Each structure stands twice: as C-alpha cells, then as structure tokens.
Amino acid sequence: MSFKLVLAMLPFGNHVHAPPLGLAYLKGYVARDPDILVRIVDLEKLFFESTVINKSENEYFARMSSSDTLAEISPDVQGLLDQFIDLLLAEHADALGFSVTNYNRRYTDYVAQKIKSRSPSTYIIYGGRTFCFRKKWRYQVTALHKHEFPFVDCIVKNEGEETLREVVDTLKNGTVPRHCLGTSLKIDDTFVDCGDRPPISDIDTIPFPYFSDYDRSAYLGDFVRIKFNRGCPGVCEYCVDSDEMGERVRIRNPEQILAEIQLRIQEGYRKFQVSDLCANASISQIERLCELIIAAKLDVEFIFAQFRHSPLLTQKTFTLLKKAGFTLIAFGTESFSQSILNAMKKGVRIETIGKNLKDAHTAGLPVMIYLMVGYPGETEATFQESISFITKHKAYISGVGHVAEVVICPGSGIHEHLECYRLNQESLFRKPDIWESADKKSTLEWRLTLVSRMQKHLDQSGISLMVHAWGGTPSFPQSKLHMLPKTSTFFKRYISLLAHPITKVLSLKIPAPNHRQKIPYSARIIQKKLIAHKNSFMLKIKNTGKETWMSDHSLRVGCRVYAAQDPITPVLELRQAIPEGGITPGSLFHTEFIFNKTLSPGMYLFKFDLVVENKFWFEDKGSSPLTIPLQVT
C-alpha cells in the first residue's frame, strides 16, 4: 500500500540562509520504506520569492520580528498562507507533518486548522523545537495539545525519526495510531500521553539528511548544516536545549561524518556550519575527523562550530581544527567568575578557560565567546571578576557573540531546581523576562546596566561584538548604529520635547480608542542594543490612567521607523502585544523591539507609540511619541 507523507516548515522559524536540517533528517529516515512517499514542500523558497518579500533579505528579517508572530496575521501574509494551504492540499497527502517553533507557531496553526477544516481525513502531525522538553516536563505536551492544538492529531516529542516512522507505518496499514511512545495522540475527543520514547542509541544508523527537495538557489548562503553529535555533555542550569534530542549525548563515527562531507562536496557544497550544541563532545572523535579530512585533502571550510571549554582541548586539537578547515571557534563561556560558573554547573575551571582561549588563538583560530551577566547570585564583585579576566586575556578574544542579561526559561535547570535559588517566584516566566531575586537586588534594570557596562568595557578593550545574521554564522561588524548626541541639529529639530532618551519619562495624554476620554501613559527606554543586524530597544510602559488596557489584540505598542529625508512614510513598522490579562491603572510592563532589518547608511527616526490596530496610531491623533534619532554608518 502506497502512503504519502508531506513535511513542511512555515517560514519565520527557519533560516533563509540554508535549508533546515530537521525535516531533511526525517525524510531520510522515513523514506527507507519504499511504500512511503515522503516529500518536503519548500515553503521557505515560496515565501522568500513571493510578492510579500520579493527576495529582499531586509524585508524577510523585518517580517521575522514583526507583530505577525504575536497578533493578527497581516492581510498580505494571510493571503500568502492561503496559497500555502492550497498548495499543500493539492499534494493529496495522507499525512502532513509540520515543524513548529516559537517563531512560526501562529502561522503553522493558521495553516493546519484551515487544512483540517477543508480535509478532515488528512492526518496532522506536529513536532519540532516547541515540543522538546527535559524529561521532567514532557508531560506538559499533552496539556498543550488539548488546550492549544486540539486540531492536531499527533504531537511528536523530542527526537522525531523513529516516532514519526512508527506513526506513519501505522497509518499506512490503515489504522489510526492509538498508542505510540514519544507522542501525544488525539483519540476521538481524548488526548493521550503515550509516554517517552528512548532516543536512538546508535545514531550512525540514521541516514544522512535528504536535501534534494530543497531549491538550493533559493537560499542566501553557500553553506550546508551538519551535525557531529546529538545532545550535549553539559548540564548548564540556564539551558533549555541540552535535552533537545534525549537524555544523553550520542557521538557519530568520524568515518561516517567524513562520508557525509564527501557527499555534500559532490552536491556542490564546500562550506559547513556545524549545528551541534557542543562540537567537541568527544575529543578523540573530532581529532580523528580532522585527521581524516586532512589526509583526504578535502578543500572544505567549517564556518562556525560551538565548543565547550575542556581541559582535554589541547594545542594539538586546535592545530588540527585549523588544518582541517575550521575558521571560527565559539565558546559558550558566559562568565569569568568561578563562583558563577559553579552555580551555572558549567563544570570548568577559570584556568582551563584561559588556556583554551590562548591555545586556540596561538593555533591561528579566531575565538568568539558568549557572555551572560546577572545570573542568580551575581554581585558587583563577581561582575568585576569577569571584567578583570577580559582585561588580562583580551589578546586571545577575537569577538563576543553577545552580552546577554540572564533569562530564566521554563523547562531549564533553574526551573527544575527553583528550591536552590532565592527568587521572587511571582516574577518568573514573563515576556519579556523580568525575574528578580527575593531580596530585589537583582532586577531587570540592574542586569541591563551590567550589559551596558560590559559592552562598554569590551569596546574600550578593542573587542568587537559580532554580527549575527539569521543564518547563525557570526561575522565582524561592518556598520554601526549611533545614538545621536543631544546637541545635534537633527536631535533638536525632531525631538525638542524629549530630554535624554535613556532616562526621560514621557507623560502623554492620548485619545482612547472610543474617542471619549484620554489614556495617559508613560514610556521609558531602559535598554538599547545597537549592533549591526541585531538592534533592540527594551521599554518600560506604565498605565497612568484610570482604565484597564485590555489584551484583546486591539491596543498594542508600536514602532515606526522613518528615513530622515521622508519622515512621512515609514520604512518599517513593528508591534508588540499588551500582556495577557491586561494592564490595570498604575501597573507597568516591559516590552522589547528587535530590529533585524539591515538599514542602509543614513539618518533615521525610531518612534515608539501606542496603536489601535487597523484604526490609528496615537501620534495621528496629536500625541507625541517617544522618538529616538539614529544614524547608520
């Protein structure tokens, strides 16, 4: 019996630089059965080439951070999604599988619900990053299934290949699955947790990812993604990714990795992005792989690989990596305070970190690190320890991927061990994250000052903040955004009513949506991150009026960006929703705008305001928005 499975991933959760890896792995695994036809529909290509995006990288990135992911779907995107629905239905698939992420979830739900209503017999399967949980929290998937995805027939938890194969094999034989390890199933009107499936122990038995359904020419990068392992040997407390594929790390055979590299070379690739959480999960494996690549004289380049600090990393290892084609080593260092590293359960000594940085630098490898500040227990003293270490080792650090305020995520190790942390639990798991310590010494505002101070120290030390394109490969910045000085003519011309934009609180009388009374509010910028390709503003907004702002998707916080030469027509618009439950009088909330749109050099105005969707911006009714001039060079 022939059975057709179509796999798809809605844009916004994928990277437009290279084909996604997950669906390619799933196809390779399930398609081993000759009676099952598996097809990947390349919605990324269709989205990127549509009239909505028109092959514009800028427009694509702007859409990724737009309000479409948080609020109503804009008419042009809805029209495009309707085309996707028609396209998927035309495949006449017996089952449709969707890879779901936090970015594409709303669009995936729109498409899946429409398909289910038009073709009830089509079996809908969800999987992907949204449903990858540590073992302790996996029971929550069935609750999510019941309350948020009731139109979905099956949700696959964590690692997907073997589970999807069993589900499809059951369907192929004419039976609807009623039990399958690793799933949450909808059986009639009941949602059943079928338990966990053990991860595939020998990952060398998994076929290579199958990329032939993707149109390579539609992607912006000239690289392909590859994995050396599954899982991570680390147990970092802040991380929610370490259990993505199972409870333990599994290592691929170096000879098998080499065979995959040689296959990709035949397909026309020579650049690889290593997508592991930890590329050096096995030192012997990665050294052997390098030796094989060198012996085969392969002309390849590994443009990115994430490493974990280890005393087993030696000068020999880094020299082999360099000779094999690695061009950038990234370390998730996070902190240079031993007490904070211990609290994070990083399992590394400061001395080891210093040696790793020096050895990699000596081998001729650019070294990038990631940093976090404000981890629970962080103090001024521990922060200064990190500052001091950077000062002493700056010659070995080529760049910093990011300086992030610590976010406490549901499902993380911190969440699992809350009893070990003195936290105000009422402040946890908000969007954006506003957690605070029980003694209220660690607040979002304080952590953001640490971010600013660390960035300033890096700048003074001559260490660049790296540019992160959405393809995931960092590079050194070529352009910067500059906050204009208060004395500039441009500043005086456009925001004469605004004092210093970082500290001034504006009290604005705004027409209410019903036009019968005014809604006062105050807005304050509490953080700005101005790095090419990754620019953001964190705002604190307070309801200073007498009525509650309802979270009914009509009232939102918005931002319009204007070129200086045309302050009438915005070049970019973004929205953020009011938190669920609304904002009562006197209450405040935080929201963040992330600008991933690459702006051409020139002068711009960033205007933050409230907006009644599909009706008016408050500025249109005479209010004065929070306005910040920026110069792109």
**What is the mean predicted confidence (pLDDT) over 17-44?**
94
Cα-Cα-Cα-Cα dihedral sign, residues 552, 555, 556, 559: positive
312, β-bridge pairs: none
Query: What is the pLDDT, as a whole number, of residue 309?
Result: 98
C-alpha span between 247 and 230 (Å, rounded): 10
Query: Mind listing the pLDDT tens digit for each residue in 261-272?
Result: 999 999 999 999
Do residues 47 and 33 lie in contact, with contact meaning Cβ atoms separated by under 8 Å?
Answer: no
Please state which of the ranges 285-294, 487-496, 601-610 shows the lowest mean pLDDT.
487-496
Distance of CA 157 to the CA centre of its chain: 19
Coil vs helix vs strand at 479: coil
What is each CA distance from 321 to 287, 331, 476, 544, 615, in whole angstroms? 8, 14, 21, 58, 57
User: Tokens at residue 151, please?
Assistant: 């139109």
C-alpha span between 540 and 573 (Å, rounded): 19
What is each CA distance from 284 to 162, 290, 429, 547, in whole angstroms? 28, 10, 40, 64
Which is nearest to 282 in space by CA: 327, 319, 334, 231?
A: 231
Do residues 361 and 314 lie in contact, with contact meaning Cβ atoms separated by under 8 Å?
Answer: no
- Burial grade of 409 (CB within 10 A; 0-12, 13-18, 19 or more): middle
User: Tokens at residue 509, please?
Assistant: 């009388």
Instruction: Specify the pairing of strand 555-563 against strand 602-612.
Output: antiparallel
Angle at CA 429, nearest 5°, toward 552 and 77? 45
C-alpha span between 374 and 344 (Å, rounded): 12
| CATH pick for 481-632 out of 2.60.40.740, 2.60.120.260, 2.60.40.10, 3.40.50.2300 | 2.60.40.10
Query: What is the pLDDT, as a whole number, of residue 534?
Result: 52
Characterize 313-339 residue by residue with b for buried, 16 or more Cβ atoms within 10 angstroms of its Cβ, and e for exposed: bbeebbbbbbebbbbbbbbbbbbbbbe
C-alpha span between 353 and 392 (Å, rounded): 12
Sheet with 329-334, side-by-side order of all strands: 306-307, 329-334, 367-373, 399-405, 464-465
User: Tokens at residue 290, please?
Assistant: 């390098």
Residue ranges matching CATH 3.40.50.280 in the chain: 3-193
Q: Which amino acid does the sequence have at 476?
A: F
**What is the mean predicted confidence (pLDDT) over 279-300?**
97
> 86 pLDDT band (50/70/90 cuts)?
very high
C-alpha span between 630 and 483 (Å, rounded): 5
Query: Mind listing the pLDDT tens digit for each residue in 105-131?
Result: 888 999 999 999 999 999 999 999 999
At a CB cut-off of 8 Å and minimum separation 6, what does 272 contact?
223, 224, 225, 226, 261, 264, 300, 301, 302, 303
DSSP-assigned states of every residue in 38-59: EEEE-HHHHHHTSTTTTT-HHH
627, β-bridge pairs: 607
C-alpha span between 578 and 610 (Å, rounded): 10
Beta-strand (E) ranges in 425-577?
A: 464-465, 467-468, 474-475, 481-483, 506-511, 518-531, 534-543, 555-563, 566-577
DSSP-assigned states of every residue in 121-186: TSEEEEESGGG---GGGTTHHHHHHHHH-TT-SEEE-S--HHHHHHHHHHHHTT---S--TTEEEE
Please state which of the ranges 159-163, 186-190, 385-389, 553-557 shows the lowest mean pLDDT.
553-557
Domain 3-193 bears CATH identifier 3.40.50.280: yes
C-alpha span between 309 and 355 (Å, rounded): 9
User: Tokens at residue 457, please?
Assistant: 């120290």
Residue 186 pLDDT greater than 50, yes or no: yes
Residue ranges matching CATH 2.60.40.10 in the chain: 481-632
Do residues 399 and 455 lie in contact, with contact meaning Cβ atoms separated by under 8 Å?
Answer: no
Distance of CA 138 to the CA centre of its chain: 21
Query: What is the pLDDT, as a whole number, of residue 145?
Result: 98
Q: Is the pTM of this model over 0.75?
A: yes
Coil vs helix vs strand at 406: coil
Query: What is the pLDDT, as a whole number, of residue 33?
Result: 95
Comparing 67 with 109, the larger pLDDT belongs to 109
- Burial grade of 137 (CB within 10 A; 0-12, 13-18, 19 or more): middle
**What is the mean predicted confidence (pLDDT) over 449-462?**
91
Do residues 381 and 330 lie in contact, with contact meaning Cβ atoms separated by under 8 Å?
Answer: no
Characterize 580-591 residue by residue with b for buried, 16 or more Cβ atoms within 10 angstroms of its Cβ, and e for exposed: eebbeeeeebbb
Query: Mind listing the pLDDT tens digit for each residue in 600-622?
Result: 778 888 888 888 877 888 887 77
Query: What is the pLDDT, as a whole number, of residue 482?
Result: 46
Instruction: Specify the pairing of strand 399-405 against strand 464-465.
Output: parallel
C-alpha span between 508 and 621 (Å, rounded): 12
> 487 pLDDT band (50/70/90 cuts)?
very low
**What is the mean predicted confidence (pLDDT) over 566-577?**
82
User: Tokens at residue 246, please?
Assistant: 């199972």
> 17 pLDDT band (50/70/90 cuts)?
confident
